[in-house]
Structure 1
Amino acid sequence: MTYKRSTGEKVFACFNVCFMILLCFATLYPFIYILFASLSNPAEIASYRGLLFLPQGFSLDAYKAVIENPMVMTGYRNTLLYVVGGTLINLFMTTLGAYALSRPHVYFKNHIMLVIVITMVFSGGLIPSFLLINNLGMLNTPWALLLPGAINSFNLIIMRTAFQSIPVSLEESARIDGANDWTIMTRIIIPLSMPVIAVMILWYAVGHWNSYFNALIYLRDRELFPLQLVLREILISNSTDNMMTGAATGDRMDIGITIKYATIIVSTLPILVLYPFLQKYFVHGVMIGALKE
C-alpha cells in the first residue's frame, strides 16, 4: 500500500529541506570563509568585500608564518599535554566516582549525589579558587589546569546513570566467582559502557582543547601557555609583528589579517579531524547515560 502525501505535507517537507540547507550554510560558511581567506593573497583579501567562496589568489605565506612561530608550536605541545593528561585524569576520576555512586550497597550515596548536584548551581567563585590553587602550590604549573576540574558533575551523573543501567546480576555472579570491585569495574562495567566512555573522552578532550580562561588566570610563564591562549594573543592583542619579519612595512597589516585566519584554522583542525571518529558513539552514549532501564 502506497501512501500519497497531501499538498500540505509536500509543502512542509520542502520547507524543512530548505530550512536545513540554510541552517547548514549559516553554520559552515564562517569556517569556509576563514579557510579561503587564510589561503588568499593578503593584498587581495584585504580589499575584497562580500561573500567569499574561493580564495582570492593563492598564498601559503600565512601558514608558513604560523608554523615558523615558536609560540604556536609551543602552544601546540602544551595543549596536547593538557588534553591527553587532563582527559586521562578526568576519565579516571569520573569513572571511579560514577562506579562508587552507582553501586546499590554504598551508604549515603543519595546524600553525596545531592551535594554534587548543588555544585552544578553554586560555586565558590574565582577568588577562592585562585587562593586555593595558590596555597596548594599549583600556581603557574600545569597542575593548575589539570587537577581542579578533575571531575565534571554533569559528566559524573551521565556516567553513573549508564553504570546503573547494567544488570546487577552480572555483578552478583562475578562476586560469587571471587571478583572484587576493581575487577568488576575494569572487566564488566567499563567494557559494557564504551559508548559512554567515548562520549566522556570527546567532551573532556574538547573542553581542554578550547580552554583558555584558566590558563589566563593561573599561568604566568609563556612557555606553559596552551594554544588557545596564544590564539587569543594573536586575535585580540594583535601580536603578529614577530611573525612578519620578512614583510614590508606597508604589507604588514594585510599579512596580519591572513595570519589570524590561518591561526584559527591551525588551532581548530585537530578537533575537526577527531570528532567524526567519535560522533557515532555520541548519541548512543548520551542516551544510555540519560535513561535508566
Structure 2
Amino acid sequence: MKPEHRAIIDSAKRHGCMPSELAHELLVHDLVEMNRFELHNLKAPYHKLNEEAQQEVIDRLTKKTEEAVTRAISIISARGVASVPIEVRAIKVEAKALTVTAKVDASAPDKHELTDSAGKLCLLVLAPDDYREGLDAIQPERDQHEMPMQVADLLGSPEELAERLGGSAEDVVAAGGEAPDQQDEEQEDAATGVPPTVYGVAPYSDICTVLARATPVVTIDYLQSRFAIGSDAARALVVRLLDDKVIAVDSEAENPLHNTYRVTKDLDEVVSME
C-alpha cells in the first residue's frame, strides 16, 4: 500500500468517514474491508447459523452495501466536482418555484463546500436509485425444512420397495419394524408427552446403536444431517440422549445450540437399554 493511501485511511478513521470519501482510489478497498469485517465478526460459519442469525447478517450486509453503492455513484459521477449526499426531507410547491428542505450528514467530507455555496447557484443532480432489484431472493436458510414424515414417503410403498429389493410386501413391513399406522400412533403419543420411538425414519434404539458404534462428535447439526430430522426433533433427541446418559456435554458454547457432546456408552451398554 502506498504511504499516502495509508495516511488517508488513518485520517478517515479519525474523522469517522470512509477512506473512499477522501480518495476515490480506495473504493474497492472499502468494499473488501466491509465484507472482511462481517466475516470476522461471525460467531460461527454462516451455514451453521440459525435462521434469525442469518437474517441479521443479510440485513447488515444489505445496509452496508446500499451505503457503498450510494458512495460509489457519488464518487464515479462527481469526479472533479464537489458532491454532497443529501436526504430530501420536504418539498414545498409554490406558484413559480419549489422549496426543498434537505438533511446533510454531519460527517460528509464536502459539507464545507455546501456551506460556502450559500446564496450561490448550485446544481441538484438526482442520483439513480434502481439498484435494489433481486434482494428479495436473498433469504436465510429455514431452520426446519419440509420433509416426509413416513417411511413410505421416502422409500415408496411396501409393494414398490419389495419389487426393487425382491421378496414380498409383508417381508418389507416386517423388516422395517413398524407399519405406517404404528408410526402414526407413536406420533400421537409424542404429542401427549410420551417420548417418540422413531425420529425421522430411525428408531431411537437404532440411533443409540449408531452413536455407540461410530462414537462421533455429536452436535445438533450432525443429528439433523445424519438422521434427516428437523431442528426441533434434533434438540428433543439431544435432551433424551442426555437423560439416558448416552451422551454427555463435551464443550459448551455461548449458544447451547452449538454445544458439542461425546458418546459415553459402549455398544453393549446401549443394547442392554433396549
TM-score bin (small chain): under 0.3
The two structures have a TM-score, normalised by structure 2, of 0.24
The structure with higher relative contact order (CA 8 Å, sep 6+) is 1
The two structures have a TM-score, normalised by structure 1, of 0.23
Higher-helix-fraction structure: 1
